Structure 1
Amino acid sequence: MEGMVVRRVIPSDNGCLFNAVGYVMDHDQKKAPELRQVIAATVASDPTKYSEAFLGKSNEEYCAWILDSEKWGGAIELSILADYYGREIAAYDIQTTRCDLYGQEKKYSERIMLIYDGLHYDALAVCGLIQFMSICYF
């Protein structure tokens, strides 16, 4: 797709990762509670994969932790959300200029983009050049 990539600012409310993903995937930037539930259910369903060694806390503790609206998400959550939506997630870190890809090994046919500044996630959208002011593709 041709066009310009534009930053869609997501409110800084400790749920920015989830709301940025929700904005790009579902055109809804109030998805944090629902996506936190998806993460907790996924982690709880596979305590072998999501062990204390992997999570840094017990499976049960992690599930309670991620449901707390004051807690932030990161790599574990982006990996789970890539599988949940069946799309690759590219998180561009503007401090390190690194791009972390989630779901890449699954060879999903679509990719969504997020921008990360070390503390906060925003969504990236591709806007058509000709209709830049009126149409943006998520």
Structure 2
Amino acid sequence: MEGIVVRRVIPSDNSCLFNAVGYVMDHDKHKAPELRQVIAATVASDPTKYSEAFLGKPNEEYCAWILNSDKWGGAIELSILAEYYGREIAAFDIQTTRCDLYGQEMKYAERVMLIYDGLHYDALAMSPFNGAPEEFDQTIFTVQRDRTIGPIEELALDFVKDQQRKRSYTDTANFTLRCGVCQIGVIGQKEAIEHAKATGHANFQEYR
């Protein structure tokens, strides 16, 4: 198998999870509005499964919330999108090098890969060589009998470990953020969330 694992950067616009999934599934980095609709429709259609206990907020409120382009996606959204596309989604966390696999209980035949830096999702792809155009990317991989994707799995993990060594992640407990609206500085995700709740401001930039 020829090629290298590459990280395809997705814009930081609060919709990175959806656009990263759009890229690995459909080679399209602009699918967030469509995929938010898919998630809202899925959740609304099954209020028993997607209860307040599961979602952390009432079903109807969650559906309105996820359609807001300022809101971030996470594990719930990834599990719904894995089911929607009928493919496993592997999400690698750079800080811990852990890989969370969504949709694995469905034994899907294919898998895609994302990489997460504590705040932001990018897409992982196999490229024939360094600097090759994105249209040559392979983003969908066949799941083997042993439920791995063969040698690519090892290459992806090596890539994630290399990103960890380079500290290409955000320590969300201790990172410093500045509010893009009022320029106030906050430390860590907890303070950022508190500031957002108090002011309604949702535009933060990391600074060191």
Taking structure 2 as the reference length, what is the TM-score of the superposition?
Answer: 0.63
Corresponding residue SS for 2:92: strand
Q: Which consecutive aligned stretches of 4+ in structure 1 deviate over 6 angstroms post-superposition?
A: none
Match of 1:107 in 2: 107
Matched, 1:133 2:132: yes
Query: Alpha-carbon deviation of 1:37?
Result: 0.2
Q: Return the letter of the residue paired with 1:24.
A: V
Query: Alpha-carbon deviation of 1:39?
Result: 0.2
Question: Over residues 19-45 of structure 1, what are the superposed CA-to-partner deviations in whole Å (9 max), with x where a residue is unaligned?
Answer: 000011111101000000000000000
Q: Distance in 2 between matches of 1:53 and 1:89?
A: 24
Query: Alpha-carbon deviation of 1:132?
Result: 6.8
Matched, 1:39 2:39: yes
Q: Distance in 2 between matches of 1:65 and 1:107?
A: 30
Question: Over residues 56-81 of structure 1, what are the superposed CA-to-partner deviations in whole Å (9 max), with x where a residue is unaligned?
Answer: 10000000000000000000000000
Q: Which has the higher contact order (CA 8 A, sep 6+)?
A: 1
Question: Considering only aligned residues, what root-mean-square deviation do their CA atoms show, in Å?
Answer: 1.4
Match of 1:119 in 2: 119
Match of 1:3 in 2: 3
Give the number of aligned pairs. Answer: 137
% of aligned pairs identical? Answer: 82
Corresponding residue SS for 1:10: coil
Query: Alpha-carbon deviation of 1:95?
Result: 1.0
Query: Alpha-carbon deviation of 1:136?
Result: 2.0
Larger radius of gyration: 2
* Unaligned residue ranges in structure 1 (runs of 5+): none
Match of 2:67 in 1: 67
Taking structure 1 as the reference length, what is the TM-score of the superposition?
Answer: 0.95
Q: Distance in 2 between matches of 1:2 and 1:86?
A: 26
Match of 1:85 in 2: 85
